[in-house]
Structure 1
């Protein structure tokens, strides 16, 4: 085991100015003895407007590629990941102190658990925060539980995919993030849950920034036709994975 956590961030020009806050949140992490982190930042595009916002830190690994939205950027960035565990961190979000250590402990301490999520607070433009009132209790998330909840609640999961922490080998086996224009992280969450147990930490692990320029705030994100198609393929993939005999990820 490498004792390294890879944090993967997809970024495009309009959100690059938030990288400094994301970096500060990484600096607040205190991992167990012998463990460290690396930050793989992948730009969605090949412009010059991201590099000025990159921190001068040898743990930062920056790459660029042709534009294809966040799913492609994260998956391309995965080629440079060296850690046995991968944490996703959107460029405009911030980890809370201790988030990486809590995620790592959940997987190391619970055989059979291959991914983890945590409580999220929306971080509003005025600096205030807003929580989700339907968080599950802290503990195991059984296989299939996320899909069942998601289908019963208008395609809204009980845990947030922006907080995912997972084994890199399982992430690779599932092909990285789904090739979708949006909801690619939800698709990954449901696929992970189809083949492995997860863990939910009740302590807040992420501040999810709300701002006018974020992708989920754009009109195209809620186009009904596209949304229906995204949800249909996400559900179909998770259902097929769950039905495959012998396709169970086992860390025991």
Structure 2
């Protein structure tokens, strides 16, 4: 039986029309012999707008649920994750060639690594891409390094949480994504870094689409009071995990 990477995608009606692009990028991924992928698409809500964009492929599973934000949708999908590893892919993003194989190689090659991230490029409306300075060097990321950088740089991590690839059991042990209206993926990233070493790949592992309907582009996302609350609880959770001294078997 093949071993499996589970790709988890939260989708809501406004972003559903991007699913075919995400699927095309996933279909182009090549994994080592004995491995395959399973794409779990979880709609955040129950509409009639997402299902028509779901590809007809036995490797793709589509479910719906009560609306609760992307973190809730991803965590619901996690209940059906039937592989050793979990990869995040937002509905409006795309995976460059080789992204899954590089993530898999990092974790299969070092049992002390619990999660991986990679370079992300913004995918602009005109089809061009843009990066940003500040990526770390390729290689291991030690425990606590992401929170330390994030706290010192106005709550901006040096690695992108939308590129996460992690051991499924470790994500489950941490409770999945945080129950926040935004920054839920940053919360998981910092929690993972509090209990386990990670890995950064310098090759581009994600095309992060920028478009007018993007949730992170809305005014509510930068409301100061809510942002302060999100950052406070994200940091407190990560610090508590670190202070407890708990580490995963992949903690290093």
SS at match of 2:5: strand
Structure 1, residues 27-82: CA drift from partner, whole Å, max 9, x if none? 11000001000000000011110000010000111100011110100000111110
The match for 1:248 is 247
Structure 1 distance, partners of 2:249, 2:17, is 40
Gaps of 5+ in 2: none
| 1:107–1:115 Cα contact (<8 Å) kept | yes
Structure 1, residues 187-235: CA drift from partner, whole Å, max 9, x if none? 0000000000000000000000000001001110000000000000000
Deviation at 1:132, TM superposition (A): 1.5
Aligned-pair RMSD on alpha carbons? 1.0
SS at match of 1:95: coil
How many residues are matched? Answer: 251
Gaps of 5+ in 1: none
Structure 2 distance, partners of 1:9, 1:208, is 14
Deviation at 1:111, TM superposition (A): 2.1
The match for 1:221 is 221
Structure 1, residues 85-104: CA drift from partner, whole Å, max 9, x if none? 00000000000000000000
The match for 2:151 is 151
Deviation at 1:110, TM superposition (A): 1.3
Deviation at 1:2, TM superposition (A): 5.9
The match for 1:111 is 111
The match for 2:7 is 7
The match for 2:210 is 210
Counterparts of residues 58-73 of structure 1 (less than 5 Å): 58-73=58-73
The match for 1:120 is 120
| 1:2–1:83 Cα contact (<8 Å) kept | no
Per the normalisation by structure 2, the TM-score is 0.98
Whether 1:102 and 2:95 are equivalent positions in the alignment is no
Counterparts of residues 13-162 of structure 1 (less than 5 Å): 13-162=13-162
| 2:140–2:199 Cα contact (<8 Å) kept | yes
The match for 1:200 is 200
| 2:2–2:34 Cα contact (<8 Å) kept | no
SS at match of 2:19: helix
Whether 1:191 and 2:194 are equivalent positions in the alignment is no
| 1:2–1:84 Cα contact (<8 Å) kept | no
SS at match of 1:80: coil
| 2:119–2:201 Cα contact (<8 Å) kept | yes
Structure 2 distance, partners of 1:2, 1:229, is 43
Per the normalisation by structure 1, the TM-score is 0.98
Structure 1 distance, partners of 2:12, 2:148, is 33
The match for 1:175 is 175
Structure 2 distance, partners of 1:2, 1:67, is 33
